[in-house]
A and B are shown apart, each in its own frame.
Chain A
Amino acid sequence: MTQMNMVQAINDALRFEMQRDDRIVVLGEDVGKVGGVFRVTAGLYDEFGDDRVIDTPLSEGGIIGAAIGMALYGLKPVPEIQFSDFIFPAYDQIVSELAKFRYRSGGEFPCPMVIRTPVGGGIRGGHYHSQSPEAQFIHVAGLKVVCPATPADAKGLLLSALRDPDPVMFFEPKRIYRAAKGEVPEGDYTVPIGKANVARQGEHVTLVTWGAMLYESLDAANKVQAEGVNVEIIDLRTLWPLDIDTVVASVKKTGRVVVVHEAPKTCGLGGEIVALINEKAFLYLEAPPKRVCGFDTPFPYTLENEYLPLSHRIVPALLETARY
């Protein structure tokens, strides 16, 4: 075990797997010599050379399109999109091509790759360095979507993603890139895709979240504990296909649920989670399910902390749901 932050844990996973599997190629803007604008790929260029750690021209469509070609050939590309806000020039390649290759070729052309990209607010990045577009990828059949909240999960999930037969969107919550620290197992360590983590045990309310909002949720749970409300927190880790069994089991136990995510409320993953709970555990519910989310506006700069579903907005939602 070594103490690491998220950046170090992701870097460690990339290095470990690149040593083990020479098909892995990292490509993107500024990922090579300088090691990424968040330094996530630091040192990889020196260790693996510019055939495997490639600074590309400034074109997300180019990066993902070329990565698809590499994957079709048999390599294992790991494209980085500098901010998930800038993934949209590549959306056509991801939605129309990457997600459908296996299906449309009857399994002849699987297209495994891991698209790494920082996500979420908290760095005063305004409209275009803060968004959380995960639902826009979950809605596309054929993509797996992952978002770790701890360094150990970042490493474990990334190694699983790199060995997965399907394309994986790997969202890295940039707000906690350096702030989240923890013990990370050395060497080979995987966390299965599709398994949530119960980050806090409780019996009164189930709170479902992921990424950086895990820490806000833990903070809120500690605050309402003082008022006698005991919250169970599920850190989804894999956003799709999500761990429905863990969510439903918890809701059957508590009868109450709050979903917390940074993305705008409307058509966010929270809506799908609530619908699934209604379908699978309706008769167990003691209170209407609640969502604490980003508002349905573009992501604002100055009012960022009023926009985000931080602890101060989670606390009243938990109390209201618990006391309903």
Chain B
Amino acid sequence: MTTATIEEGATGTARREPDDALAADVVRVLAPDGTLVDNDAGVGDDEAVALYRAMVRTRLIDERAVMLQRQGRIGFHIGSLGEEATVIGTVHAMRESDWMFPCYREFGGALYRGMPLQRYFDNLYGNANDPAKGRQMPDHWTYRQAKVGSVSSPIGTQITQGVGFAWAARMRKDPLVAMVYFGDGATSSNEFHNGLNFAGVFKTPNVFVCRNNGWAISVPTERQTASATFAVKGIAYGIPGVRCDGNDIFAVVKTAREAVLRASRGEGPTLIEALTYRMSGHSTSDDASRYRPEEQMSAWTTLDPIHRLRRYLEARVGWTEGQQAAFEAEVAGELKLVIETAEKVTLPALETMFDDVYATLPWHLQEQRAELLAGPRAKGH
């Protein structure tokens, strides 16, 4: 096992360097070369293949969404390139009853929990079949049936909400755990501190997943905190903080399972810092070449979570080039279908703009709706 010592101390920073993910306190099961650190994946072979397929599918969807944005067919995309093990591994560790309070990069997790791919693309297209009726930007999906919260843009708001949700469930003796997702940047938000403080005081059944991907748009982690790690922040709130290699799917599953178990036993919340890397711009609106050191990106490429798991599967179950190609073709076929369908669906009807502001339509919205319907249409409508 490759280890490096963490340099902690007064001047320690949570700077994302590739070898940081190799530090001694970081939970790791699968080494970057695809071999097991302790001979135990903690995950069966079929399970590992299922996780692998989910990660590859997530990446293929991501790549296609970027392409659709470049072609002007959708307006925007924000994805999880490089962070697939963190997203899929944590969701895999959840039980059927558990809930997910996402940030905006976890579409792969929502799909894994059962959100139909078609619904996701309906949101990307903002069409009439989008559960939120095209009201929100792409990647701001909602799908309650899969026990996932609705995505919002303001950073950090879901953290306290996830705490309240889990707390309410416990009041009602409903044995669920709420897993709350956010980035490294979000640890500077008001709601991170409120959320962890409330969770600590009331010992709520939560798992906090900090996807430390090195960047908050152009701002590196050392501008978010002077702490040596993000995990250490849990301690001040009376919550254990653990770091795991976020590009190691088995380490993520193991860490998240322990945290879910702990919360479900009534022992309180856990803060997980998953060390990963944003292998793309912040979103399709961002050009990371303006600020990201090229060496950092290439170093992280060698730690790619999908390549790592693939090497393991090749050795372990003889995953072949042919199986890979067949699976990629399967996803491509699935994508073709949902994209064709999404592009055929109409825009949301005009009057839907006024629905759901309140449970029932007050007089002023009735008036405004009538005014819109009677008035002239905007260009392109």
Contact = CB atoms under 8 A, between A and B. Distances in A.
Contact of A85 (B76, B154, B216, B376): B154
A37 interface: yes
A297 B136 contact: no
Contacts, number: 132
B135 A295 contact: no
A166 B365 CA distance: 38
Interface SS majority for chain B: loop
Most buried by B among A37, A302, A310: A302
B378 A301 contact: no
B290 A297 contact: no
A89 B136 contact: no
A295 B366 CA distance: 11
A124 B354 contact: no
A142 B314 CA distance: 67
A136 interface: no
A303 interface: yes
B301 interface: no
Nearest to A34: B218
B155 interface: yes
A3 interface: no
Nearest to A42: B290
B75 interface: yes
Interface string B29-58: 000000000000000000000000000000
Contact of B364 (A57, A62, A266, A313): A266
Contact of A55 (B190, B219, B352): B219
A316 interface: yes
A58 interface: yes
Contact of A125 (B137, B224, B286): B137
Interface string A57-86: 111011000000000000000000000011
A271 to B, nearest CB: 12
A88 B357 CA distance: 20
Interface in A291-324: 295-298, 300-303, 305-308, 310, 312-313, 315-316
B347 interface: yes
A103 interface: no
B168 interface: no
B152 A296 contact: no
Contacts of A266: 364
Contacts of B302: none
Interface string A86-112: 101100000000000000000000000
Interface in B209-254: 216-219, 223-225
Contacts of A124: 75-76, 137
B137 A129 contact: yes
Contact of A295 (B127, B285, B354, B376): B354
A126 B130 CA distance: 14
A266 B218 CA distance: 37
Contacts of A57: 185, 188, 219, 223-225
B236 to A, nearest CB: 16
A58 B189 contact: yes
B218 A55 contact: yes
B291 A306 contact: no
B135 A37 contact: no
B3 interface: no
B216 A58 contact: yes
Given A59-B189, A312-B377, A296 B368 contact: yes
A33 interface: yes
A250 B190 CA distance: 47
A232 interface: no
Contact of B134 (A37, A296, A303): A303
Nearest to B378: A305
B188 A300 contact: no
Interface string B349-375: 010111001000000110010001001
B27 to A, nearest CB: 26
A101 to B, nearest CB: 21
Given A85-B153, A312-B377, A300 B353 contact: yes
Contacts of B217: 29-30, 34, 37
Contacts of B18: none
Given A58-B216, A58-B219, A128-B153, A301 B126 contact: yes
A295 B372 contact: yes
Nearest to B354: A297
B297 to A, nearest CB: 16
Q: 7 tightest A-B contacts by CB? A: A302-B134, A126-B137, A128-B153, A57-B188, A305-B378, A34-B218, A302-B126
Given A85-B154, A303-B348, A303-B352, 4 more contacts: A33-B291, A55-B219, A89-B189, A305-B381
15 contacts: A34-B291, A57-B224, A58-B188, A89-B156, A124-B76, A126-B135, A126-B140, A126-B153, A302-B135, A303-B348, A305-B381, A306-B377, A306-B378, A308-B378, A313-B376
